[in-house]
Amino acid sequence: MISSAELLIIKNYISSKKKDSFLKIISLFSFLGIAIGVATLIIVMSVMNGFRAELFDKLLKFNSHITVKSYTKDDVNVSKINQYFVDHKLELKSIKKTISSQGLLVTHGRNTGILVVGISKEDLSKEDFAKNILGLNNFKNGSIIVGQSLSNKYGLQPNEVLNILSSNNVSTPFGNIPQQSNFKIAGTFNSGVSELDYNYAFITFDDAFNFVNKKKDFLAVDIKLKDFSKADIYKKELENNFQNYFFTTWIDNNQTFFDALLVERNVMFIILTLIIIVAAFNIISGMTILVKNKTKDVAIFNTLGFSKFSIAKIFFIIGSFIGVIGTIFGVILGIVFAHYIENIRLFFSKLFHVQIFPPEIYFLTKLPSLIDYKLILIISSFSILITFLASLYPAITASKLNPIRGLKHD
């Protein structure tokens, strides 16, 4: 508990007099340092969380959660796998056959590698990004749907014929040459991830089967779950019951990438925490100066009967007050900034006429932000803990001052 006398002294010291202007400046910088450090940490963590969540959302809307292939030349029995999900009450969202193969798109005197995906019109219409597909009604044998980014880069037009070279070779009197196929552009799609829109193209399942020269090695079954986080659990169950099939999950296919994101996030947290620690050193400096300036006051407190614990408590609370208020201000600033980060990005982009967060580099069309209040609680607690520790040394020093020396000194 804080006595009324201690509270009065604390209020008097916090509202510094003119002769303590230097101390006031140090306290202000300590406050700003902690506030900016906490705010920066919240903003950066929110953006990185948002970036990771957006990539998860976009990639998993576009790709399967579990991919099934056969070890043998036999087709994967889709009905049997689907029935297994039903019988065991597993949460299945969709299941479909696909064919995927690398191809070389040749157009307008330029070429680029793309992944050609064979899928039925019905299955394509059920995809999460189906609402962002233009020309889906025109999707049929001999047609192709390309990404909006690819279309914009090469100036592709509807009904334009594209020439795509397959990775399969065909024998001719002149030797083996890549198989060529022509497809008419039926429309475009926009998945929200620029990199995917640039590298993927859809053709019908029948066209894809011919494109890979009817090789069943390219056949696969794509499974999407209602909860993608259960992919590994379901994979183990399926492996135990379908030993002729080979199962891979989205985690297997993107493990390195997402691990790199996690490491980057943790390293960034540690680095930015140093800002708060540096600000805490300002508190130590400011409180040490305060204790030195108040040597006579401390001596008087001793003669008036204040205990060492009471004196330490006074100076500890003063230092902690700066840290707590700075943390609260930093949390408010960080949350507000993180919430309006996209608006701020657009404002500065227009103001300085530069493209901040270009989609071709960061894969996303807007700057994402996901505010994690549990993480904010951890950041706040850590900041307050640091300021408590920083305030402890000056407080103990004040409690150990010799009252006789203090009075003689002044």
SS3 label, residue 77: coil
pLDDT digits (tens, 9 = 90+) for 9-62: 777 777 755 555 666 777 788 888 889 989 999 998 998 888 888 777 777 777
pLDDT digits (tens, 9 = 90+) for 236-286: 999 998 888 989 998 887 777 777 777 887 888 888 888 888 878 878 887
In whole numbers, what is the pLDDT of the chain averaged over residues? Answer: 83
Residue 365 — φ and ψ, nearest 5°?
Answer: -85, -15
Classify residue 136 by its DSSP letter. G
Any idea which of 16-30, 131-145, 154-168 has the lowest mean pLDDT?
A: 16-30
End-to-end alpha carbon distance in the chain? 31
pLDDT at 144: 94
68-85 b/e with 16+ CB inside 10 Å = b?
Answer: bebeeeeebbeeebeebb
Tell me the C-alpha distance between 286 and 252, whole Å: 53
Per-domain boundaries in the chain: 4-57+258-409, 95-220
pLDDT at 6: 76
Token duo for residue 253: 């296919």
Query: What's the gap between Cα 178 and its chain centre?
Result: 41
Contact 5, 296 (CB under 8 A): no
Instruction: Note the pTM of the prediction, 2 decimals.
Output: 0.71
The counts of H helices and E strands in the chain are 15, 10
Residue 225 — φ and ψ, nearest 5°?
Answer: -105, 160
Token duo for residue 337: 């900034």
Contact 332, 34 (CB under 8 A): no
pLDDT digits (tens, 9 = 90+) for 301-323: 777 778 888 888 888 888 888 88
Q: How many residues does the chain have?
A: 410
Contact 47, 367 (CB under 8 A): yes
Burial class (CB within 10 angstroms; exposed 0-12, middle 13-18, buried 19+) of 4: exposed
Token duo for residue 399: 């409690």
pLDDT at 75: 81
Q: In this structure, are strands 92-107 and 133-134 parallel, antiparallel, or unpaired?
A: unpaired
Tell me the C-alpha distance between 281 and 361, whole Å: 38
